[in-house]
Amino acid sequence: MVQTKKQKYIFLAFCLIPTFIMFSIFTLYPLFNGLYFSFFEWSGASNTREFVGLDNYSKLFNDDIIPKTIWHDYFLVVTKVIGIMIIALFVAVALTQLKITEAPFYRIVFFFPNIMSVVVIGILWMFIYNPSLGLVNSGLEKIGLGEWARPWLGDEKWALPSLVLPSVWAGIGLFMLLLMGGIANISKSTYEAARIDGANEWQQFWHVTLPLIWPQIKISILYIVITTLNGSFIIVQVMTGGGPNNATHVMGSYLYQQAFKQYNFGYGATIGVMILVLSLITVLLLQFLLRREKVEY
Amino acid sequence: MKRTVGEIMSRTGIRIPLILWTLAVLYPIFWMFLGSFKSNAEIYANPWGFPETFNYQNFITAWTEYNIGSSVFNSLIVTLMGAVLCLVLAIPTAYAIERINFKGSNVLFTVYISAMMIPMVLAWIPLFFLLNQFNLLDSLVGLAVVYALSQLPFTIFVLTSFISTIPKSLEESAAIDGMSPYGILWKIVTPLSMSGIITVTIMNTIQFWNEYFMALIFLQSEGNYTLALAIDYISSEAQYTNAWGTLFASLVIAIIPVIILYAIFQRRITKGMTEGALKG
């Protein structure tokens, strides 16, 4: 049976339109409406919405907390990228190149935190950092560094760096797998040739592995940056709620506080626009910085 | 090739950091399980060691006094509804984008895929009011819809790439036998894509089961709390109630289904997530 054109279009509409309507209502419309909200002052009650033009944006530029939240976000981005990439790269090379028989065991274990709930991760690490019960402080006391013990998450200076470790802990697995996939694609003969040329294992790593898995490294870095900028507030919300004294507020947690705790929905949307703009700029910039001629041997 | 002494040394040396990281991953999880069997007095006296006796009191308290039972039920409902709705929305679109020639199929695909990279936090404020208008705020159905739509782009992405691996000849011969395109989609393509559907559904299920922030925004009454919210609530109250054992027990309840899914579907989950990241 040959379909008529009309039948084809009806089927196409059946496939695409219901989904696209739902997507428009629950994803596209809220995104654009968020932009629109940022020009209003609104506490949520329907008749108090007031058009204020760019007032929210000038408030944004004069808000002392905003630069802190941006700095905190980028601090997490940079430390996470460095921490995750170094450990994931080491593990990926070790598990693929060094013929370790129990490699699948490590792979399975290291990946598991990736599928744990942020709530579980956050609460577990709150315990690890707990001043009186926690593993960190009791460990420090055991090795004679008791004076380094401190209420990690309650200390304005140390709270933010303390959030890096759980994020790295939870993030290694996925990037380890991505890099392992890249290494697996490098042909054995490339290493063979390098060995014949007298390259030791370090030289092989620097001159063969690293250039050939550059695409995977690039994707990993971009992925860490995007997920951190778009999602770091979740672990912040669970572990510190932005405190102590705003020392760990990131852009997203500050948006949550402004919009859903203090009912400044217009200002919250303005912070959302800022997150959108910053993450787009960052991704574009990174893609430019990380570009590198494709290496083929 | 003979191994030199130095090589053997380095093989052993390389294991030390690997074993240390294994401990760093497993010990906190293991310790959480131990803690769930300890009394409060034991948690304070001996936070990092084994419990003296294994008692289940914490689980009973969590289940009955802290409503973990009903929040497990809520989480199950939301997870199930979200996962099913996501498939219903994604399968026809993925099929059409991959197999039917029409103008704009690339544009449509790009629109869905770019939604994966946009920070949705901006959309949550208007979504809050939209759900309120639809009477879906503080409702498990509303949350399930939001969840389904949040994973829709990823699901479409995984399914289109999966459907592209199915040979076209099967659909063509079914069409020649007179099967309608609806029949082909339902009776040929869907069963043949089952492996991809299962992979993506497991990942969505874990995602929805674990999700915290959207639930925090879009649910309000305690009766509707999902597991993540209930645990967060117990955690924030614990400094007054000292219900640490109960908190551990509820963390264990939250993580056990994930461990079971991971044990069964480890390969699918890791493969799905790495492929998702490669494109996303």
Which residue of chain A is at minimal alpha-carbon distance from B153?
A: A23
Q: In this structure, is residue A202 part of a structural domain?
A: yes
Determine the pLDDT at residue A46: 64
Helices (H), ranges, A148-200: 159-184, 188-196
What is the pLDDT, as a whole number, of residue B66?
85
Q: What is the pLDDT of residue B41?
A: 80
Q: Which pLDDT belongs to residue A1? A: 45
Torsion angle (degrees, nearest 10) of CA B149, B154, B156, B158: -150
Q: Specify the range with the lowest mean pLDDT, choosing from A13-27, A255-269, B4-18.
A: B4-18
Q: How many domains does chain A have?
A: 1
- Residue A297 in contact with partner chain B when CB distance is under 8 A: no
What residue in A sits closest to B126 (Cα-Cα)?
A30
In chain B (280 residues long), the average pLDDT of successive 10-residue segments reads 62 85 92 87 78 83 88 96 97 93 90 89 92 94 96 94 89 88 90 92 95 94 93 87 87 94 90 75
Contact B217 A256 (CB under 8 A): yes
pLDDT of residue A5: 82
Containing domain of residue A98, as a range? 78-245
Phi, psi of A270 (to 5 degrees): -65, -40
Contact A126/B235, CB-based, under 8 Å? yes
Nearest-Cα residue of chain A relative to residue B45: A133
A185 sits in the region (left: phi over 0; alpha: psi -120 to 50; else beta) called alpha
* Closest B-chain CA to A30: B123
Q: Residue B65: how many CA atoms within 13 Å on its side-chain side?
A: 12
Is A138 in contact with B48 (Cβ distance < 8 A)? yes
Contacts of A220 in chain B (CB under 8 A): 277
CA distances from A120 to A226, B22, B97, B265 (A): 22, 18, 38, 21
Of B122, B172, B225, B251, which to mutate for an interface test with A (greatest number of A Cβ within 10 Å)? B122
Whether B188 has its CB under 8 Å from any CB of chain A: the answer is no
Q: Taking the C-alpha atoms of B226, B230, B232 and B234 in order, what is their torsion angle to the nearest 10 degrees?
A: -170
**Residue-level pLDDT at A288:** 87
pLDDT for residue B140:
96
**A226 inside 8 A of chain B by CB:** yes
The residue whose two tokens read 């994973």 is B151
pLDDT tens-digit map of A61-92: 999 999 999 999 999 999 999 999 999 999 99
Size of interface A-B (CB pairs under 8 A): 230
Residue in B89, B217, B231 closest to A22 by CB: B89
> Is the separation of the CB atoms in A1 and B178 below 8 Å?
yes
Count structural domains, chain B. 1
- Enumerate residues 77 to 136 of chain A having a beta carbon within 8 A of any beta carbon in chain B: 87, 90-91, 94-95, 98-100, 106-120, 123-126, 128, 133-135
* A274 lies within 8 A of chain B by CB: no
CATH of the domain at B68: 1.10.3720.10
- Tokens representing B68 are 């973990």
Residue A195 lies in a domain: yes
Mean pLDDT of A7-20: 92
Is A29 an interface residue toward B (CB < 8 Å)? yes
Tokens at residue B134, please? 């639809």
Per the domain annotation, does A30 fall within a domain? no
B242 domain residue, yes or no: yes
What separation in angstroms does the CA of A227 have from each of A47, A81, A233, A279? Answer: 36, 11, 10, 10
Are B86 and B148 in contact by the 8 Å Cβ rule? The answer is yes
CB contact under 8 A, B152 and A268: no
Residue B30 lies in a domain: no
Please answer yes or no on whether A119 and B108 come within 8 Å at the CB atom: no
Residues in chain B: 280
Provide the domain limits for residue B121: 58-279
Instruction: Note the pLDDT tens digit of each residue in B28-56.
Output: 999 889 889 988 888 777 777 788 777 88
Element (H, E) at A51: strand A50-51
| Residue A117 neighbours by CB under 8 Å, 6+ apart | B209, B210, B211, B212, B228, B254, B255, B258
* Average of per-residue pLDDT across A257-279: 93
| Three-class DSSP category at A41 | strand
* A257 inside domain: no
Q: Is B42 part of a structural domain of the chain?
A: no
Q: Give the mutation candidate from B4, B11, B18, B184 for the A interface (greatest A CB count, under 10 A).
A: B18
Minimal CA separation from A48 to chain B, in Å: 14
Cα of first residue to Cα of last residue in chain B, in angstroms, is 42
Residue A56 in domain: no
Residue A2 pLDDT greater than 70, yes or no: no
Phi, psi of B244 (to 5 degrees): -65, -45
The string of pLDDT tens digits covering residues A193-218 is 888 888 888 888 888 888 889 989 99
| B268 inside domain | yes
User: Do A120 and B254 count as a contact with CB atoms less than 8 A apart?
Assistant: yes
**pLDDT for position A289:** 87
Q: Do A11 and B254 touch (CB under 8 A)?
A: no
B243 phi, psi to nearest 5 deg: -85, 55
The answer to whether the beta carbons of residues B117 and A226 sit under 8 Å apart is yes
CB nearest A128 (choices: B11, B25, B28): B28
Is residue A115 domain-resident? Answer: yes
Q: Do the Cβ atoms of A90 and B17 come within 8 Å?
A: yes
pLDDT in the model for residue A14 = 92
Contacts of B253 (CB under 8 A, 6+ apart): B59, B62, B63, B68, B72, B227
Taking a C-beta distance cutoff of 8 angstroms, is the pair B253, B59 a contact?
Answer: yes
Question: A-contacting residues of B 52-71, CB under 8 Å?
Answer: none
pLDDT of residue B20: 92
What are the chain A neighbours of B206 within 8 Å (beta carbons)?
A: 115
Give pLDDT, residue B3. Answer: 57
Residue A294 pLDDT class (50, 70, 90 cuts): low
> Is B271 within the bounds of a domain?
yes
Q: What is the DSSP string of A247-289?
A: TT--HHHHHHIIIIIS--HHHHHHHHHHHHHHHHHHHHHHHHH
Contact across the interface for A269 and B125, Cβ inside 8 Å: yes
Domain membership flag for residue A82: yes
End-to-end, the C-alpha distance of chain A in Å comes to: 52
Q: Do A12 and B178 touch (CB under 8 A)?
A: no
- Examine residue A66 and state whether it is found in any structural domain, yes or no: no
Q: What is the CATH number of the domain that holds A175?
A: 1.10.3720.10
Give the CA distances from residue B228 to residues A211, B146, B208, B239, in Å, rounded to whole numbers and listed in that order. Answer: 42, 16, 10, 18
Q: What is the per-residue pLDDT across A96-138, written as a single tens digit (0 to 9) for each?
A: 887 788 889 999 999 999 999 999 999 999 988 988 778 888 8
Which among A109, A117, A252 is the nearest to B25, CB-wise?
Answer: A109
In a domain, B233, yes or no: yes
Whether B237 maps to a domain, the answer reads: yes
DSSP letters, A80-97, are: HHHHHHHHHHHHHHHHHH
Of the candidates A1, A16, A177, which has its C-beta nearest B93's C-beta? Answer: A16
